[in-house]
Amino acid sequence: MTRTVFLDRSTPPHIATLVVIAGLSALNMNLILPSLPGIASYYEADYALVQLAVSGYLAVTGLLQLIIGPLSDRYGRRPVMIASLSIFLIATALTPFAPTIEAFLIIRMVQAGVVSGMVLSRAIVRDIVGTEKAASMIGYVTMGMTLAPMIGPALGGIMEELFGWQSVFGLLFLFGVIAFVMLLTDLGETNHNRSASMLKQFGAYPELIRSRRFWGYALTATFASGAFFSFLGGGPFVATAILDLPPSQLGLYFVFIALGYMTGNFLSGRFASQIGINRMMVTGCIIATLGMSLSLTLFLAGLWHPLSFFGPMLLVGLGNGITLPSANAGIVSVRPHLAGSASGLGGAMMIGGGAALSALAGAILSAETGPYPLIIVMLVSCIFSVFATLYVIRVENSLSDDAKITRVS
């Protein structure tokens, strides 16, 4: 691994830069959550339509990842990230001035260009370190970027109450400028084995799809994060329409899942290289499943309180924080020469599945149903993540030693 020097583009980027760029992607998703009811009121639109700012946004980011990965394998990580972040800044500046809900949603979809920060930060890590170290480094990157969803909803809720939902996008633009400056001054190119053509990179997808290990890691990430994305889609409605929380308090309760996620990321960064990515994944998936089981039990027992919903989210966040760095390291390590494409395809599956679950949660929730549809969707997603991880372990055990993932110490 080449020694990293901060603000020196001749070396790989500093971990702080990866944290900020990836964190901006997370912040763009989470900062507006407390404002969704306010946006619905402003445009006099149904909540189910406004909720497309989450589920539709997730779907677009999933599609973009199919393109961003191969683009970065062909042209390099740096130029693709610069172009994507530039598009994000333009869209963010326009969003507060959208005259209709349809225009707002269209511009919101264009904002999805920022997802390159999350996709390419994983590929960059795999460019410079091996599999087990990649899991640890991704854990530390995601631990740092978890500050965004930890403070984002709380900050967004306060901004919405004080200045209106438009101010949230002004704050996003400011954070975007900071990330863009760090990108320009610190992110040196790490892809020194670029593909000969885009067609070659898209042609790599069948190779990835034929890999059972890739499917195992990708499905683990999809179902593990599916619980979180379902929470993003239905959580604001449960909090405001069922539990009667104002936007500022809703943002504060989001700290539970973010705190759990940060703790899980720390544990992943600390122990993944010693324990191994498969055991980390199964542990995290089981913890998340226990969290949703606890939430369901509390509501069935008649304890209708915000802590009955948000408290167990601490375990879901903890489980995701332990699982996802290892799952993502596995995704980009099955075929190291296709790290960008693998990150894009795996991310598209993860985000696409999350978009579907988020839309489902938003569609089936009502004041009459209570929180149960959302809790059940999240619980089932967690259970499926356990089975996906067990599948990975079974496939790994069935492979000969020389066919397993190459581990670079």
Average pLDDT, the chain: 81
- 8 A C-beta contact, residue 320 and residue 389: no
pLDDT at 122 over 60: yes
User: Which tens digit of pLDDT belongs to each residue from 41-54?
Assistant: 888 888 778 878 87
Spatial distance between the Cα atoms of 127 and 89, rounded to a whole number of angstroms = 27
pLDDT of residue 177: 94
Question: The tokens of 336 are what?
Answer: 């190291």
Mean pLDDT within 321-326: 88
Q: Please give the Cα distance from 57 to 33 (Å, whole number).
A: 12
CA distance 394 to 398: 6
Report the range of poorest mean pLDDT among 276-280, 286-290, 383-387, 395-399. 395-399
pLDDT grade for 406, boundaries at 50, 70 and 90: very low
Termini Cα distance of the chain? 10
Residues 164-222: pLDDT tens digits?
A: 889 989 999 999 999 999 988 888 777 777 766 666 656 667 777 788 888 899 999 99
pLDDT for residue 376 is more than 80: yes
Highest mean pLDDT pick, 141-150, 316-325, 332-341, 362-371: 316-325
Contact call for residues 72 and 340 (beta carbons, < 8 A): yes
pLDDT of residue 315: 94
Instruction: Say what angle helices 212-237 and 339-364 make with each other, to 10 degrees.
Output: 40
Helical axes 372-398 vs 339-364, angle rounded to 10°: 150
Element (H, E) at 106: helix 101-110
Per-residue pLDDT of 61-80, as tens digits, reads: 878 877 887 788 788 888 99
Question: Which ranges in 240-371 belong to alpha helices (H)?
Answer: 247-253, 255-275, 277-300, 306-310, 313-333, 339-364
- Looking at residue 202, what is its pLDDT? 64
pLDDT on residue 409: 33
The pLDDT assigned to 293 comes to 95
Q: What is the CATH number that goes with domain 15-188+198-399?
A: 1.20.1250.20
Position 393 pLDDT exceeds 70:
yes
- pLDDT score, position 8: 65
Choose between 60 and 194: higher pLDDT.
Answer: 60
Q: Which tens digit of pLDDT belongs to each residue from 270-279?
A: 887 788 888 9
pLDDT above 50 for 408: no
Six token digits for residue 347:
């991310």
DSSP track, 19-87: HHHHHHHHHHHHTTGGGHHHHHHHHT--HHHHTHHHHHHHHHHHHHHHHHHHHHHHH-HHHHHHHHHHH
Two structure tokens written together for 295 = 């939430």
DSSP structure string for 136-200: HHHHHHHHHHTHHHHHHHHHHHHHHHHH-THHHHHHHHHHHHHHHHHHHHH------S--S-HHH
Please give the angle made by the CA atoms of 155, 296 and 305, to the nearest 5 degrees: 50
Give the Å distances, CA to CA, from 390 to 216, 340, 397, 399: 9, 26, 11, 15
**Structure-token pair, residue 349:** 């599956």
Task: State which H helix or E strand residue 94 sits in.
Answer: helix 77-94
Main-chain dihedrals φ then ψ at residue 303, nearest 5 degrees? -90, 80
Contact 237, 369 (CB under 8 A): no
Of the ranges 2-6, 84-88, 234-238, which one carries the lowest mean pLDDT score?
A: 2-6
Q: Write out pLDDT tens, residues 133-154.
A: 766 677 667 666 666 666 777 7
Listed by start position, the domains of the chain span 15-188+198-399
The segment with the largest mean pLDDT, out of 324-328, 336-340, 348-352, 405-409, is: 324-328
Task: Say yes or no to pLDDT of 59 above 70.
Answer: yes
Q: Which residue has the higher pLDDT, 102 or 19?
A: 102
What is the rounded CA–CA span in Å between residue 380 and residue 377?
5
- Residue predicted with more confidence, 289 or 356: 289
